[in-house]
Amino acid sequence: MLLDEGFHLVVVIPALNEEATVDTVIRRIPRSMRGCTRLSVIVVDDGSTDSTARLAKEAGAHVVSHPHTQGVGAAFMTGIDAALRFGADVIVNMDADGQFSPEDIPDLIRPIVEQGFGFVTCTRFADPQYVPDMPAIKKWGNRMMCRLVNRVIGRGRFTDVSCGFRAYTRDTALRLNLFGKFTYTQESFIDLAAKGVRMVEIPLRVRGVRQFGESRVASNLVRYASSTLPIILRAMRDTQPLTFFGVISLILFALGLLQAGFVSVWWLATGHTSPWTSLITISLGFLLMATLVGVMSLVADQIGRVKKVQDDILRLHRIEHYRDAITPRRTDVYYSQGTPALCQSDQVLASQPCQDS
């Protein structure tokens, strides 16, 4: 997304009781970035009971507060909405706990600015020298989650689908349609891959363990898995309905066929079906369910096609909704020639124009 006119960068920081680090994170955001002509910081206070909101305001951020805790997924979507209202060209999302280095933001957005990618995510595991110190069980959990998401999206071999340090173009943000409140990281991969957004990951150094407090999302692996897997399955159901229901149909068909085959072999060998006669009824039940789910998969695939059209209509409605904030540039992924200016400002404000250098 090369812009000869420069771009407006909005950094979104979801936060819940992060008074120990939020102001430091905000103040460490670079004031000078290639191509950036305006820099804004938005902190989404997800129902904090400490001084997170006050400290964020004092550090120069615009604060959007939830009346009560809704989850990091909900906070992320609130931040995306606020960033689009600010007229963002590029949106960076990062945590407020200090595990990500704000100084790495220029590296994170470089594939967008220079190569036209729509979505860039940090990976903690692609480069061996950047692998953070973290409990082995969490590394294993991240690896399993990557395998699952890579299999679902069917393209690419991403090494980290759970990291929250990411960058989006405005067009990508307009396409996002997420429902999970607990988390957004895996669902966004599936959603954007289904919509054909160009995605890439870059290795960056990340602190493996929080300096203060504990993660509200991944502190308990069992809770994390039980809360995340339904989000992934629903995202797969919505984006790949034929595959989702087709696999269920095939499993039911295979179970019915195996039982029917077993009874048939027993009958050929002994001349009677007892004591397995009941399996005949059970196998017929499985085969009937397989047929019904197979028909359902065709109907779901038809609905999925309608959903794709609705997603395009929703994107157009969002463009109209945010029209007052969007500068008169194209709203798709766009390119231009020339060398962007440098963005420099003395402080990070909620929406502060920068002086070109």
3-state helix, strand, coil in the chain (%, to 5): 50, 15, 40
Q: What is the pLDDT of residues 176-200, one digit of tens each?
A: 999 888 889 999 999 999 999 999 9
pLDDT in tens, 119-172: 999 999 988 888 888 888 888 888 889 998 998 888 668 999 999 999 999 999
How many residues are recorded in the chain? 357
Residue 346 banded pLDDT, cuts 50, 70, 90: very low
User: Residue 211: pLDDT band by 50, 70, 90 thresholds?
Assistant: low
Q: Are 352 and 345 in contact (CB under 8 A)?
A: yes
The whole-angstrom separation of Cα 43 and Cα 56 is 7
pLDDT for residue 333: 31
One-letter amino acid at 10 equals V
> Locate tokens 């979801």: which residue?
14
**Global pTM value:** 0.81
pLDDT at 341: 34
Handedness of CA 300, 305, 311, 316 (dihedral sign): negative
The pLDDT tens digits of the residues spanning 15-35 come to 999 999 999 999 999 988 888
* First-to-final CA distance of the chain: 21
d(CA 78, CA 121): 19
User: How far is C-alpha 108 from the geometric centre of its chain's CA atoms?
Assistant: 16
List Cβ neighbours of 194 (8 Å cut-off, separation of 6 or more): 153, 239, 240
In angstroms, the CA 253 to CA 261 distance is: 12
Bridge-partner residues for 92, per DSSP?
Answer: 11, 167
How confident is the model over 215-243, as a mean pLDDT?
81
Closest of 27, 48, 84 to residue 324, by C-alpha:
84
Report the alpha-carbon distance of residue 282 to residue 258 in Å, rounded. Answer: 11
Of the candidates 250, 221, 81, which has an alpha carbon nearest to the alpha carbon of residue 144? 221
**Which segment of 36-40, 112-116, 204-208, 353-357 scores lowest on mean pLDDT?**
353-357
The answer to whether 276 touches 227, Cβ cutoff 8 Å, is no
Is residue 80 within 8 Å of 173, Cβ to Cβ?
Answer: yes
Asked if omega into 14 is within 30° of 0 (cis), the reply is no
Of 81-85, 159-163, 207-211, give the lowest mean pLDDT range: 207-211
Which of the 8 DSSP states describes residue 340? P
CA distances in angstroms from 109 to 23, 43, 158, 202, 307, listed in the order given: 22, 19, 18, 10, 30
CA dist., res. 41 & res. 86, Å (int): 10
